[in-house]
Amino acid sequence: MEQERLHPEATGELSNLLYDLCLAAKIISRQVRRAGLTDILGGSGTLNVSGDLQQKLDMFANETVRNAVQHTGRVCITASEEDEGPVVCPREEQGKYVLLYDPLDGSTNIDVNVSIGTIFSIHRRVTGQQEGASELDCLQPGYRQVAAGYILYGSSTMLVYTTGQGVHGFTLDPTIGEFLLSHPDIRSPDVGKYYSVNESHWNKWAPGIQRVVGAFKNGDGGRVEAKNARYIGSLVADIHRNLMSGGVFLYPADAISPQGKLRLLYEAAPLAFVVEQAGGAATDGRRNILDIKPTALHQRTPLIIGSKQDVAFAQSVLTGQ
């Protein structure tokens, strides 16, 4: 609301959309906190469009986010990592925003009580009222996002978001059921103390990536100091830790996945917007993640993201500069 006041032209719709997402986050958080007590752990028996086994909580979160925004008149279309195609809102209810989201990232960690998260990305629609919303609204480069963020279901539940005016963190106070501003204006250190990567893929990486990860591990003749390793396997949790403490996260391409594993629209672009707004950077090895023009909803991208100087070092090695 404070930031909305900086924009006299603002109608309040974006703030209300963020409130809708907060409501979804509270419902998902409640369910995550009770997982294990209720029959909601485990696989649902279905695969998502990327071939991953869908967990029951994945599907619950997917529906919860969509239901929270679909009939509000603020959104015209939604697309989720868990659905094959976009879901267009009823024509008479189509609003001016587009919501892309990963409802529950890190689903292999659900059953073992490790932090998981929801990621969201908001664009302004590009289609007109006449033609109606379509996939075109979803296929926009990351630099056009009007807001992005994540909800982390960790030791506490946190909402971290940006609208392009810095990054702000809110912690859910379960006693009053509200997100309270706990981390205003989050800044990421320029050089990180952690590197986060799944090193079991080492033998499948190209020599450039091996050199980058080797440098983060052992140091590189004064260009990079050796770092400590931390890898949770839940992107939101790994990014959040590195954002707060300084660090670099890598999910590179490898011989089996030439585009890496992570999705551009639901994971890489929104997190890149957050991390850049906190003073960090994100690249696919050659290009700024926010400059990539998507051609498919479920497009994947290699991702190196985090403290600015560490990301710059990785990119300089990978581009041979």
Q: What residues are annotated to the active site?
A: 52, 58, 81-82, 102, 104-105, 267
Q: Quote the tokens at residue 211.
A: 């050199």
C-beta closer to ligand AFP: residue 238 or 310: 238
- 269 forms part of the interface with ligand AFP (CB under 6 A): no
Minimum gap (Å) between residue 116 Cβ and ligand AFP: 8
x/- letters, 104..143, toward ligand AFP (CB under 6 A): -xxxx-----------------------------------
Cβ(198)–Cβ(231) below 8 Å: yes
Q: H helices of the chain, where?
A: 13-34, 56-69, 135-138, 207-218, 235-245, 269-277, 308-318
**Can you tell me the distance from the alpha carbon of 141 to that of 154, in angstroms, rounded to the nearest whole number?**
30
Residue 52 has what DSSP assignment?
P
Cβ proximity to ligand AFP, 40 vs 136, nearer residue? 40
User: Could you say whether residue 301 binds ligand AFP (CB under 6 A)?
Assistant: no
Sign, CA dihedral 295-297-301-307, equals positive
12 touching ligand AFP, by CB under 6 A:
no
Rounded CA gap, 207 and 26, in Å? 44
Q: HSE-up of 71 (CA within 13 Å, CB side)?
A: 3
Q: Which is nearer to ligand AFP, 55 or 188 (CB)?
A: 55
Nearer to ligand AFP among residue 198 and residue 319 (C-beta): 198
Query: Does the protein bind ligand AFP through residue 310 (CB under 6 A)?
Result: no
Number of residues that bind ligand AFP (CB under 6 A): 12
Subset of residues 36 to 65 that bind ligand AFP, contact rule: CB under 6 A: 52
Out of 89, 99, 215, 235, point to the residue binding ligand AFP (CB under 6 A).
235
The distance of Cα 146 from the centroid of its chain, to the nearest Å, equals 14
90 binds ligand AFP (CB under 6 A): no
Write the DSSP string, 147-190.
EEEEEEESSSEEEEEESSS-EEEEEEETTTTEEEEEE-S----S
Binding site for ligand AFP (CB under 6 A): 52, 105-108, 198, 233-235, 238, 261-262
